[in-house]
Chains A and B, each alone.
Chain A
Amino acid sequence: MRDKILYALAAIAAVLLTRNLYTIFFVLGEEKNQGAIWRIFEFHFPAGILGLMGFIVATVFSVVYLITNDLRYDAIAAAINEVSLMFAAIVLVTGSIWARIIWGVWWAWEARLTSMLICWLIFAGYLMLRRAIDEPTQRARLSAVVCIFGGVDAVIVYKSIEWYRTLHPGPVLTIRGGGGMPPGWQETAYWNLLAMTCLAIILVMVRMRQETVSREIDSLRRLAHSF
């Protein structure tokens, strides 16, 4: 049943991504001021949403773990954080490439970029911490605490587009009070968000299965050593 869900999501993601790539490259025109580079937004925005929302959702699971002490919630948080870290890396890289063309620099130490980088570093540290601790309960507890700090930063990054007027462009999507985009551009971004969400769910499910196998290995090792 689980495998069927994975294959169905993969099929949906493949169809949507193919359709979206065709739309982005062959249907939508160029932006008046930015030219062709604006198209990077169609991946930058969904990756940003998935990364930040993933971190926030994982933080909720980490808090639930701290309350219930059920290691399953820790496993879910770890899986979501790892996949979200990948999407956050995409945000930073695509953002840098866009910045090089538009601003003339790869990076600027302004509020949104810096807080996003800090968020990425916190969750990279979260994963490194998990690898360093063998004992499952201690690993879960300490990484949950780190995750909470990262989750707070993720909220700051998400709201920074409204709070700070800096080099980074302000809201463009109408849902966030922006001025909107030419016809078809906003819709394509949302379709890409759907496609990448399917991809994210697939990766999280695979990662969670690996966490389950890892816990089984831990318990079998304890059983082997208890003889």
Chain B
Amino acid sequence: MFYGFLAAWLIVILYVVLLAMRERKLRRELDRVRQMVEKR
């Protein structure tokens, strides 16, 4: 039973970490593209 709860919450935590990583990547990409547009 403990493993069931652990597995469920691990999946949630993994997804939240994935979201955070994607957020950082998108912010970096947005800054980069904005700078590219401003330079032109």
> What is A's interface to B at a CB cutoff of 8 Å?
36-37, 39-40, 43, 47, 83, 86, 89-90, 93-94, 97-98, 101, 199, 203, 206-207, 210, 213-214, 216-217, 220-221, 223-224, 227
Contact = CB atoms under 8 A, between A and B. Distances in A.
Given A207-B19, A223-B37, A224-B40, A43 B26 contact: no
A42 B12 CA distance: 16
Given A47-B8, A90-B11, A213-B26, 12 more contacts: A37-B1, A39-B1, A83-B15, A86-B11, A90-B7, A93-B8, A97-B7, A101-B1, A213-B30, A216-B30, A217-B26, A220-B30
Nearest to B19: A206
Contacts, number: 65
A43 B8 contact: yes
A224 B12 contact: no
Contacts of B5: 40, 43
19 contacts: A36-B1, A37-B1, A39-B1, A40-B4, A40-B5, A43-B8, A86-B15, A89-B11, A90-B11, A93-B4, A97-B3, A203-B15, A206-B23, A210-B22, A210-B23, A220-B33, A220-B37, A224-B40, A227-B40
A90 B30 contact: no
Contacts of A223: 37
Given A37-B4, A39-B1, A43-B5, A90 B12 contact: yes
B29 A217 contact: yes
Contact of B19 (A37, A39, A203, A220): A203
Interface string B1-40: 1011101100110011001001100110110011011001
Contact of A43 (B4, B19, B34): B4
B26 A94 contact: no
A122 to B, nearest CB: 19
Given A206-B19, A220-B33, A94 B4 contact: yes
Contacts of A37: 1, 4
A149 to B, nearest CB: 24
The 3 closest A-B pairs by CB, nearest first: A40-B4, A97-B4, A220-B33
A93 B36 contact: no
Q: Specify which of B11, B30, B34 lies most central, judged by the most chain A CB atoms within 10 Å of its CB.
A: B11
B32 to A, nearest CB: 9
B8 A213 contact: no
B7 A94 contact: yes
